[in-house]
Structures are given as C-alpha cells and as structure tokens.
Copies of this chain bind each other. A is one copy, B any other.
Amino acid sequence: MSKENDLIDEFNIIAKFFTPLTKNASGTFGLLEDAAVLPPISPQQEWVVTVDAIICNVHFLPNDPIELIARKALRVNLSDLAAMGATPYGYTLTIALRKNLPDSQCLLKKVSNGLTIDQAEFGIHLIGGDTVSTNGPMTLAITAFGIVHKGKLLRRSAAMPGQDLWISGTIGDGAFGLKVAKGMLSKQYLELVDRYRLPQPRISLGCRLSGIAAAVIDVSDGLIRDAQHIANQSNCRLVIDGSALPISESVSCIIADRSEMLKLILTGGDDYELLFTAAPDAITQIQQASYELEIPITRIGWVDSGKGVDVLDYNGTKLNLLAESGWSHF
C-alpha cells in the first residue's frame, strides 16, 4: 500500500520514464489505458511475437551497467525476431524491481535511457508494460513484435541433407566475455565483455535470409545446443567442422594459452549470431549478403541424414561431446 511506501508512485514512474518511450505512437495511448492496440498490417503481412526474460545473476551480473542490461533484454528478443526473418515493430516491457530500493528512480532512468538508444537504433517503440515490485532480483520480461511478409517466415525445421551449414560473425565471444566480466580471464580481453553485454541482433541479415536460407536459429544457448534444435526439428543430422569455426582474435589468443577452454566455443551461449542451413547453390547470394551487410558469414559444416549434431576436429575425427552441450536453466 502507498502508506507503507511513499517513495515513488507507479503511475509517476510510467509517465516519467516509460510514456516517452512510446513516441506517441497510435494505439499505445501514452500507456494510460488497460491495454494497447497494434496497428493494422496488410493482408500480405503477419505479426510475429516472441518473449524473453532476463534476470539478475542468471542472464546478467549485478555490476553490469543498467543501460546495457535493458538494451540486452531488448536485443535478445530482437534476435529471436531476426531468426524468424521479421522486422521489429515494438515491444512490451515488464520490469520487476526490489521494493524500497533507494535509487530506484535513478535505475529506472537508466533503463529508460538504454531503451531510448536502442529504440532509435532499431526503429521501434514501447507498446505497453507493467512495473511491479519484487523481493527478488531485478527482472526484465519483454514481449517483442515484428512483421514478416507471408511465406517469408524462417523456421528451424527446414534443414535437409545436402545443405550447407553457415554462421554469421564470430562464435564464443559472448561466453568468453562473461568470463572476463567475472574476472576469470585477463582484462586485456575487455572488448569481449561488450559482446556479452550488448549482443548485436542480426536483423538485417535475418530479413535478407528469407528466400536464401532453409532453417535458421539464433545462437543464444550455445552453438551445439542450438544446432541440435535445427537437427531435432528438421529430423536430420548437422555436422560441424570444428576447424572452420569463425573465432575472434581475442578468443584465438585465449585458447592458444588455455586449450581446456576450447569447448566453450561450442557450448557457450550469448552469441546471438544466426546459424542457418542453405542449399549449396545459395553460396553466391550468401556471399553477396555478407558483402553488402558487412557481416562475415562462414560455412561451418553441412546437413546429413541421421540425428543430432556431430563436431569434427582438425583431423576430421568426431569429437566426443559431453552431456553439457549448452546453457540449461534447470
């Protein structure tokens, strides 16, 4: 009850920090209604909806800058839209904050500032939200909305034997960045922390892959684990050529010294690159997309008949993958 805590009023919070994020878009009603209305889309388009929550100490560290936490919460959802080939439209935000937090106004201002930056970067706005108190860790739950042309939706289930397996960007940076942020690796690799804290959702690539790629997924839980999703849902086997994995210079330096960390490239999450399969004759289009969008895209394997995911080492020998092949929440 307000008697128990007169620090901030939920509705002042909304007016001050969140209503500006709606950019007065039609249907958001300045966040003053019980609900919002999505704008009409053409009969040739569809709404795509995705939901992802991030929680302190699970998805981010207590010392991570608040602005970046908010932006990451948004970006992991935009990455899901990218993997479906959708163009982002907007999002709802549920934010749970500890009761009686002395600096909650300051914290919410930072959340709002972070989201403002990314709204401009991705051309989206806030649609609605809920601000609640908790006696647990800070939690941001986002539902993101995108639009896709009918028939252009990308799926995980479209891989077929004979296709190539590709990945955008470099892999492993997110997981190694987390280790640097935790002080488990030298600060000389500080730029990896940025990869962990502020992933780059591959929106433009996702849209471009419609009609080029077959199965697509974003690598959030770890390369092998996400590859397994494609394999399971396409009912085929993915073979990853371990020697072909695109890794950054920093990660390359780290594993040169500490080879026990090699498997982190395969199992670490938080990369938010697009992993996709495509017919062999799509190579020219993929290279063209890579060139125009200035995003490295690397062929890292192929699709075969069978089940599961195999990783081959430098000699073409199958690696013995352990049970722990990615991030699992429970």
A residues with a Cβ closer than 8 A to B are 1-3, 5-10, 13, 27, 29, 32-38, 40, 43, 46-55, 57-59, 80-81, 83-84, 86, 92-94, 96-97, 99, 104, 127-137, 139, 141, 143, 145-146, 148, 153, 155-157, 217-218, 229, 233, 267, 322-330
Contact = CB atoms under 8 A, between A and B. Distances in A.
Query: How many protomers of this protein does the assembly include?
Result: 2
Contacts of A131: 329-330
A49 B34 contact: no
- Grouping DSSP codes into helix (H, G, I), strand (E, B) and loop, the A interface class, with mixed when no group exceeds half, is mixed
A272 B119 CA distance: 34
Contact of A330 (B7, B50, B127): B7
A130 B146 CA distance: 17
A48 B146 CA distance: 15
B130 A51 contact: yes
A6 B80 CA distance: 26
Question: 7 nearest interchain CB pairs?
Answer: A136-B136, A35-B50, A2-B328, A3-B324, A38-B47, A34-B80, A141-B141
Contacts of A233: 32
Contact of A80 (B13, B35, B146, B155): B35
Nearest to A43: B40
